[in-house]
């Protein structure tokens, strides 16, 4: 039989595309039988994103692995969308005929189709072609549990979540405060809410769900999903926790300026503040951060980005003269560095001088932090990050909580940041426990992906399942 191929259907966001590609490559490496990868590429909606996707693909094509990329025909993106979750979900749905045609045209047997979770509508294509369909979830098991529970919650909670009394019951998690629900479900009249409920319902139809986590990182949430407690009345889902899936770029010939600055700092003495590819602050919030850091007395490396240009989505490089209090840089020059553009977060977290991480709480960033044993202070900004922040503190114990005013665009007062940084970097019992737990999770993450580890074994089981499921696709 010709080598079966696993079809990957990612979306274009870096945190989604790179995670799914890296998972696919690990699948090839761990499989005891020969498999190949076929990646169906949707055209990104902006020229900047399209250029980034093209650069990722060029790197993968030069890797020498058995990975083939098929560019799908472009679709006219919707113009009447409200939120990004709706936009991505609708574009994925519009690609259904092109995905169907691409899979139908493949010569090798198809072992399975692995869909980014925003593409759950394409499970219809898998069913139509009689090929196994899997969902790949780039975030954590806690969020999978929440989304699987969401269709039932929609019936049980007739009001907005913030108006309900008591906490939200999500099996596998501590009682979830209504203030910690993901941003897309804070308004039931918003199409983003409708789409998240839709995806949660469709996940249960997949042959399995593949999650970028490790069994030991989230045992309670994974058990609740696998036992069917999140989907009462529907069959329990097969789950493959295969993480942490982290892409480590090769080290540059010359260390980045931020890394060179860290070389001069004492071990575990620096708190890193970095907020992902989409995180930015206006000047009023930047000044609060500056005041809090100055009063904390701790060393810091702060990656500060400014608001997007009019009509754009991506943060701009920060104008430090406009955004920071007068004299701040001079007063803190001996213990702080403010970096106003992109910085190599993974490389920075790996540095021995970094002892804590104030983060937006995106799951990829959290995994990088835990991989290096760095405890966190979550400062959620959008997407599922408020739920992540709750999980890091209440379920995983790897973070120090910080009060974020969600109704004021996630504003944090200087005094609250000062308190959280002091706690994280050595203040009291909460910080000590978070540091100990993060150190423990460093070993957990690394052991999971080594031969004999839980995620290594999950990938082998998944590869066997895929190989057994391989079918020759006929164009029905």
Sequence-distant (≥ 6) Cβ neighbours of residue 284 within 8 angstroms: none
d(CA 132, CA 114): 9
DSSP at 395: I
Q: Which of 98, 116, 372, 386 is catalytic?
A: 116
Tokens encoding 218: 């989230």
d(CA 70, CA 41): 6
CA-wise closest residue to 392 among 372, 425, 369:
369
Helix (H, G, I), strand (E, B) or coil at 270: strand
DSSP at 122: G
Active site residue 16: yes
Asked if 71 contacts 139 with a C-beta cutoff of 8 angstroms, the reply is no
d(CA 199, CA 383): 15
CA-wise closest residue to 92 among 110, 116, 68:
116
**Terminal Cα-to-Cα distance of the chain (whole angstroms):** 22
Backbone angles phi, psi at 114, to 5 degrees: -110, 115
- How distant is the alpha carbon of residue 181 from its chain centre? 16
d(CA 394, CA 142): 11
Q: Which of 16, 199, 298, 351 is catalytic?
A: 16
Asked if 348 contacts 259 with a C-beta cutoff of 8 angstroms, the reply is yes
Alpha-helix runs per DSSP H in 204-344? 219-226, 257-262, 283-296, 320-323, 328-331
CA-wise closest residue to 450 among 23, 30, 63:
30
Asked if 69 contacts 170 with a C-beta cutoff of 8 angstroms, the reply is no
Dihedral sign, CA of 434, 437, 443, 449? negative
Active site residue 317: no
Residues with catalytic roles: 16, 116
């Amino acid at each position: 039989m010709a080598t079966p191929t696993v079809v990957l259907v990612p979306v274009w966001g870096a945190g989604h595309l790179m995670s799914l590609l890296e998972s696919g490559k690990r699948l090839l490496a761990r499989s005891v039988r020969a498999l190949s990868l076929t990646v169906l590429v949707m055209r990104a909606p902006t020229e900047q994103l399209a250029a980034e996707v093209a650069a990722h693909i060029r790197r993968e094509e030069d890797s020498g692995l058995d990975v083939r990329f098929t560019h799908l025909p472009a679709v006219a993106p919707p113009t009447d969308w409200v939120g990004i979750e709706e936009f991505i979900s609708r574009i994925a749905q519009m690609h259904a005929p092109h995905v169907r045609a691409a899979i139908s045209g493949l010569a090798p047997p198809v072992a399975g189709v692995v869909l980014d979770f925003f593409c759950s509508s394409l499970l219809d294509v898998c069913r139509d072609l009689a090929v196994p369909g899997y969902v790949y979830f780039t975030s954590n098991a806690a969020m999978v549990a929440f989304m699987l529970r969401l269709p039932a919650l929609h019936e049980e909670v007739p009001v907005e979540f913030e108006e309900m009394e008591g906490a939200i019951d999500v099996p596998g998690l501590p009682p979830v405060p209504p203030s910690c629900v993901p941003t897309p479900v804070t308004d039931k009249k918003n199409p983003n809410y409708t789409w998240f409920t839709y995806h949660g319902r469709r996940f249960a139809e997949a042959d399995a769900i593949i999650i970028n986590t490790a069994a030991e990182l989230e045992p309670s949430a994974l058990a609740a999903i696998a036992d069917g407690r999140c989907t009462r009345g529907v069959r329990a889902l097969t789950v493959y926790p295969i993480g942490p899936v982290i892409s480590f770029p090769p080290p540059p010939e010359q260390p980045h300026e931020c890394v060179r600055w860290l070389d001069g700092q004492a071990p575990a003495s620096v708190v890193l503040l970095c907020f992902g590819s989409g995180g930015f602050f206006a000047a009023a919030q930047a000044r609060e951060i500056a005041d809090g850091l100055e009063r904390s007395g701790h060393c810091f490396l702060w990656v500060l980005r400014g608001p997007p240009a009019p009509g754009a989505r991506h943060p701009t490089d920060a104008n430090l003269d406009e955004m920071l209090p007068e004299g701040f840089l001079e007063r803190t020059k001996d213990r702080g560095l403010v970096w106003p553009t992109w910085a190599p977060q993974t490389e920075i977290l790996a540095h021995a001088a970094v002892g804590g991480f104030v983060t937006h709480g995106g799951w990829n960033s959290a995994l990088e932090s835990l991989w290096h044993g760095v405890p966190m202070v979550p400062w959620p900004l959008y997407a599922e990050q408020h739920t992540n922040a709750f999980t890091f503190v209440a379920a995983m114990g790897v973070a120090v909580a910080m009060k974020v005013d969600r109704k004021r665009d996630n504003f944090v007062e200087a005094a609250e940041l000062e308190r959280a940084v002091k706690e994280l970097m050595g203040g009291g019992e909460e910080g000590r426990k978070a540091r100990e737990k993060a150190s423990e999770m460093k070993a957990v993450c690394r052991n999971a992906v080594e031969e004999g580890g839980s995620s290594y074994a999950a990938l082998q089981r998944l590869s066997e399942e895929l190989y057994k499921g391989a079918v020759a696709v006929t164009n029905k």
